[in-house]
Chain A
């Protein structure tokens, strides 16, 4: 878990500090196309003569931004819907059917449809990635709430005269947090992969903004000549997702009372 958290913190720090140590990711230089790594261009340049290192570092911003915001959004939306569905049967019947419907739409298709409606942009991309993740989170939260609300201590709280908001906030919500954290880490990793996939397909972030996905897409033809143009963003993508998954696994172990043997 500490490895995951550490790696993630490092990535976030690097992406935030990017302007301090890397060149301009947008700057094209037709005379320096597909250069090998050098002291000036640490990871070489791509087919338009742009600095691969700078683009990779700035690309991390997009990936992390999309991942974190999507995870937060899906967690919040899922929590809200899940708690209400877990507590009100009427709401449950209606909303969970909607969620079932949403789950049956492939994420990539929904994203492409949304992007083609409004044109590419980071905002719409985040919405397109977040919305299909909400049902899984809502389902998880709902199942936890359904289990917890029948516990005698919740009945005891009601018998003690607690109002519904207090029962939810004090006795039911805390139980949903551990699985929610773990699920959010999953959502975050997923969102980063989906963003890369969408950008690769051209339905993601606008082409002038560097993202790992569109970097791989635009450089894949030159894999044989300048492999780093594909490998640099690809490896970063893999490492980021790995870091987040490690963090998620660590959180699960931390919250799972059965695995408290260590520490």
Chain B
């Protein structure tokens, strides 16, 4: 296949807030701003960031649950942002999503079997036996017993429900799965089970993941590459190992420093980051991070930094750490796939935090 499995170019989503009955247009919320990246077959790209930085919106834009304001999403080289709703259906087979909340993302009135086989039944007719066989197979894939197919979602635990969500996403055997905070609602031991399940499935079936999370330990565990988002923009995009060894962008640095580490002897990097995340309604000029950045210089207040590629395969948007040397009109860059960075993942067991 030529080109990446998924390519995102300058994806942007603005929400226009209503100001009430006079219909005067309210403030503009810049949820996602000029986001570009690509995902290769079989790799895991993690998108991390604080609450409200736009990472879930990116996931919803990829699935076209919400319509983008600008930019393109290319699946197998075909632009899906310009398609009509019904033309989108064939691409549903290429890309599936695991939802954040295992409680509200399963229809409480359908049985587990009905839920997980539904995507397949949207595309082909199954008879009773085929449906049962498919449900049993999917349940086994996610480590559940086939007898459970007749139960309702309310009869399952949170971890089991999340497995059902994953089974549903697997049903169409898509080469790409978007997981929006797929483990955040679960406790740590169940998180580890689900993460290991996802990694096993990736090895067996060669599935690529876009894995959205706010939890860096999870990201370190499963990510091949990491994209850090801040106020709707990607500020750093780097191979996982390099990223965790030495982040480039000061925000990424602060994020890693702030993550709890289960090692009392390890000396924590002290990165002073003050203040709150600014509102996406009225983002700061220039680099959105400059009001909180210890390194900020005059240029950061004026000019929005581009994502600049660096020699070791990373890219960062920072005037100080990654100054743009050449002036090209290419605004967002997409770093080549991580096949070059096929990192040997440490096979961590439970206790990833």
* A residues in contact (CB < 8 Å) with B: 151-153, 155-163, 166, 170-171, 174-175
Shortest 3 CB-CB distances between A and B: which pairs?
A: A160-B119, A161-B92, A152-B105
Q: Which residues of A contact B101 (CB under 8 A)?
A: 152
Structural contact, A160 and B92, CB atoms closer than 8 A: yes
Which residue of chain B lies nearest to A171 when distances are taken between CB atoms in the complex?
B107
- Contact, CB under 8 Å: A156 / B109: no
Bound CA–CA A151/B107 (angstroms): 9
Cβ contacts A to B, 5 pairs, < 8 Å: A152-B99, A156-B105, A159-B65, A162-B118, A166-B122
Which of B's residues lie within 8 Å of A, judged by CB? 63, 65, 86, 89, 92-93, 96-97, 99-101, 104-110, 118-119, 122-123, 165, 168, 171-172
User: Do the beta carbons of B109 and A155 come within 8 Å of each other?
Assistant: no
CA distance A90 to B93 in the complex (A): 31
Q: How far is the CB of A116 from chain B (nearest CB, A)?
A: 39
Q: A156-B106, A159-B65 are in contact. List 12 more A-B contacts (CB 8 A).
A: A152-B100, A153-B104, A155-B65, A155-B105, A156-B168, A159-B63, A160-B168, A161-B93, A161-B119, A162-B118, A162-B122, A170-B110
A155 to B108, CA, bound (A): 14
Query: Is A153's CB under 8 angstroms from B107's CB?
Result: yes
**Main SS at interface, chain B:** loop
A158 near B172 (CB under 8 angstroms)? no
Give, as a whole number of angstroms, the nearest-CB distance from B153 to chain A: 9
Q: Is the CB of B99 within 8 A of A160?
A: no
Most buried by B among A155, A158, A159, A175: A159
Q: How many inter-chain residue pairs (CB < 8 Å) link A and B?
A: 56
Known A152-B101, A153-B105, A153-B106; contact A160-B65, beta-carbon cutoff 8 A: no
The answer on a CB contact under 8 Å between A152 and B122 is no
> Chain B residues near A175 (CB, 8 Å)?
109
Expressed in whole angstroms, the Cα–Cα distance for A166 and B119 within the complex equals 11
Contact of A161 with B104 at beta-carbon distance under 8 Å, contacts A152-B99, A155-B65, A174-B109 already known: no
Residues of B near A156 (CB, < 8 A) are 97, 99, 105-106, 165, 168
Other-chain contact of A161, B106, B110, B122, B165 (Cβ < 8 Å): B122
Q: Collect the chain B residues with CB atoms within 8 Å of residue A159's CB.
A: 63, 65, 92, 96-97
A160 surroundings in chain B (CB, below 8 A): 92, 96, 118-119, 122, 168, 171-172
**Distance A72 CA – B65 CA, assembled complex (angstroms):** 36
For the complex, what is the distance from the CA of A151 to the CA of B96, rounded to whole Å?
17
Docked pose: A161 CA to B119 CA in angstroms? 6
Q: How far is the CA of A157 from the CA of B119 in the complex (A)?
A: 7
Closest residue of chain B to A152 (Cβ to Cβ) is B105
Task: Report Cα–Cα, A156/B172, bound state, in Å.
Answer: 13
Do A161 and B63 touch (CB < 8 A)?
no
Using Cβ atoms and an 8 Å threshold, which residues of chain A touch B168?
156, 160
Residues in A with CB closer than 8 Å to B165 are 156
Distance from A152 Cβ to chain B, minimum over Cβ atoms (Å): 4
Report chain B residues within 8 Å CB of A161: 89, 92-93, 119, 122-123, 172
Collect the chain B residues with CB atoms within 8 Å of residue A171's CB: 107
Task: Tell which of B63, B101, B104, B106 has the most Cβ of chain A within 10 Å.
Answer: B104
Please measure, in the bound complex, the distance between the C-alpha atom of A159 and the C-alpha atom of B86, giving whole angstroms: 12
Q: In the complex, what's the smallest C-beta–C-beta distance from B190 to chain A, in angstroms? A: 19
Alpha-carbon distance between A175 and B93 when the two chains are bound, in angstroms: 28
CB-CB under 8 A from B99, the residues of chain A are 152, 155-156
Give Cα A125 to B283, complex, Å.
62
CB distance from B288 to the nearest CB of A (A): 29
Query: Cβ of A163: which chain B residues have Cβ within 8 Å of it?
Result: 86, 89, 122
When distances are taken between beta carbons in the complex, the residues of chain B under 8 Å from A162 are: 118-119, 122
When chains A and B are docked, how far (Å) is the Cα of A171 from the Cα of B107?
Answer: 7
Q: Which residues of B contact A158 (CB under 8 A)?
A: 65
| Residues of the A chain whose Cβ atoms lie less than 8 Å from the Cβ of B110 | 170
Q: In whole Å, how far is B21's beta carbon from the nearest beta carbon of chain A?
A: 14
How distant is the Cα of A158 from the Cα of B168 in the complex, in angstroms?
12
Q: How far is the CB of A96 from chain B (nearest CB, A)?
A: 15
Does A157 lie within 8 Å of B104, measured CB to CB?
no
Residue of A160, A166, A170 with highest tally of chain B CB at under 10 A: A160
CA distance A153 to B97 in the complex (A): 11
Find the B residue at minimum CB distance from A154.
B107
A6 CB, min distance to chain B CBs, angstroms: 29
With a cutoff of 8 Å between Cβ atoms, the chain B residues found around residue A151 in the complex are 104
Nearest-CB distance from B158 to chain A (Å)?
14
Q: Which B residues lie within 8 Å of A174 (CB)?
A: 109
Q: Report A53 CB to chain B, min CB distance, Å.
A: 47
CB distance from A151 to the nearest CB of B (A): 6
A189 to B269, CA, bound (A): 72
Give the residue name and chain of the A residue nearest to B110 (CB).
A170
Q: How far is the CA of A154 from the CA of B96 in the complex (A)?
A: 14
Minimal Cβ-Cβ distance residue in B for A155? B65
Assembly CA distance A156 to B101 (angstroms): 11
Minimum CB distance partner of A158 in chain B: B65
Task: Provide the bound-state CA to CA distance between A161 and B120, in Å.
Answer: 9
The residue on B at minimum CB distance from A175 is B109
Which residues of the other chain, A, contact B172 by a CB distance below 8 angstroms? 160-161
A248 to chain B, nearest CB (A): 22
CA–CA, A87 and B109, complex, Å? 21
Question: Looking across the interface, which residue of chain A has its beta carbon closest to that of B116?
Answer: A160
Give chain B nearest CB distance to A145 CB in angstroms.
Answer: 15
Contacts of B109 in A (CB 8 A): 174-175
| Interchain CB contact (< 8 A) of A152 among B86, B89, B96, B104 | B104
Closest-CB distance, B45 to chain A (whole angstroms) = 19
Residue of B nearest to A167 (CB): B122
